[in-house]
Homo-oligomer: A and B are copies of this chain.
Amino acid sequence: MRVIKTVSEMSAEAARLRGEGKHIAFVPTMGNLHEGHLSLMRAARPRANVLVISIFVNPLQFEPGSDFDAYPRTFREDLKKCEPVGVDIVFAPTEPDLYPEGFQTTVEVTEISKGLCGDFRPGHFKGVATVVLKLFNIVKPHVAVFGEKDYQQLCVIRRMVKDLNLDVEILGHPTVREADGLAMSSRNQYLSPDERKRAALLYKFLTEARKRYERGERRAQALIARVQNGLARDPRISVEYVSIRDRETLAPLDTVDRPAVMALAVHIGKTRLIDNIFLDQQKM
């Protein structure tokens, strides 16, 4: 396993690998790797000759006043986790290399970035789209894997790839969960033991809603209200949104008459958590 720390070296190496006919799979991360990230790498591994992952805490996607400075940085531990899952190259660029003086280009996926997290994290998806496009251009992957936990992010990237005619296959990978159902996230470690217990309620109410859907409930507002009311009963949980959207366009649905995603964001204490579940007749 090789660690590459400069944009120029990574770009040249990727060009060389492509020139040799090698297929490149890519998993971009912000480090602090957990089982969720590792599952993306395991999914990517058999898809290519060379598996590249990136570790970069991207300042562009942190809105002002958020946890950019506090975001956990655990580079040494991350490297130890990469090797066993078969990572070939860890690309860990510096901020001045990726955003040199004079940097001023932004990529925006306008419609899909609105609503859900987009309403509460202004500029977030612009920062995500911009850094992912840059990383794609540097790493030149044939396939890239993203977690379904950040579902709006996955949709933004799929749309960007389509709209900008990028030759990259985007694979979504199911959310990895703790034993009690909590979606794995680097931000879970911000939770106190008491908050951590309450955090299991997110997936509990999402799966309950899916059961009601599977029993025939198609009114989005009825499904949403149950989750909202359920979560609101816990005084430590503050609901940001609960929403049911078209699975591809993320357009809000009144009636769940097509493949949909139920997504939510809450604050538990000072920690913001998101999760989602698919509502899908195929899975009944």
A255 surroundings in chain B (CB, below 8 A): none
Is A184 in contact with chain B by the CB < 8 A criterion? no
Is A164 in contact with chain B by the CB < 8 A criterion? yes
Asked if A133 and B103 sit within 8 Å, CB to CB, the answer is: no
Docked complex Cα distance between A133 and B249 (Å): 23
Binding site for B on A (CB under 8 A): 7, 11, 15, 19, 21, 102-112, 129, 133-134, 137-138, 159-160, 163-167, 249
Docked complex Cα distance between A55 and B107 (Å): 24
What would be 28 A-B contacts, judged by CB atoms less than 8 Å apart? A7-B165, A11-B165, A11-B167, A15-B167, A19-B21, A102-B111, A102-B249, A103-B163, A104-B109, A104-B110, A104-B111, A104-B112, A105-B107, A105-B110, A105-B129, A105-B163, A105-B164, A107-B107, A107-B108, A107-B164, A108-B108, A133-B164, A134-B163, A134-B165, A137-B164, A137-B165, A137-B166, A138-B165
Give min CB distance, A114 to chain B, whole Å. 10
A167 surroundings in chain B (CB, below 8 A): 11, 15, 137
Asked if A164 and B104 sit within 8 Å, CB to CB, the answer is: no
Docked complex Cα distance between A138 and B167 (Å): 8
Docked complex Cα distance between A137 and B168 (Å): 11
A21 surroundings in chain B (CB, below 8 A): 19
A112 surroundings in chain B (CB, below 8 A): 104
Give min CB distance, A190 to chain B, whole Å. 32
A15 surroundings in chain B (CB, below 8 A): 167
Q: Which 3 A-B residue pairings sit nearest by Cβ, starting from the closest?
A: A105-B163, A137-B165, A104-B111
Residue among A109, A129, A133 with the highest chain B CB neighbour number at 10 A: A133
Asked if A105 and B165 sit within 8 Å, CB to CB, the answer is: no
Asked if B105 and A108 sit within 8 Å, CB to CB, the answer is: yes
Give min CB distance, A168 to chain B, whole Å. 10
Asked if A104 and B11 sit within 8 Å, CB to CB, the answer is: no
Give min CB distance, A227 to chain B, whole Å. 29
Residue among A7, A102, A112, A134 with the highest chain B CB neighbour number at 10 A: A102
Nearest residue, chain B, Cβ from A129: B105
Asked if A106 and B102 sit within 8 Å, CB to CB, the answer is: no
A103 surroundings in chain B (CB, below 8 A): 163
A105 surroundings in chain B (CB, below 8 A): 107-110, 129, 159-160, 163-164
Interchain CB contact (< 8 A) of A104 among B7, B137, B138, B159: B159
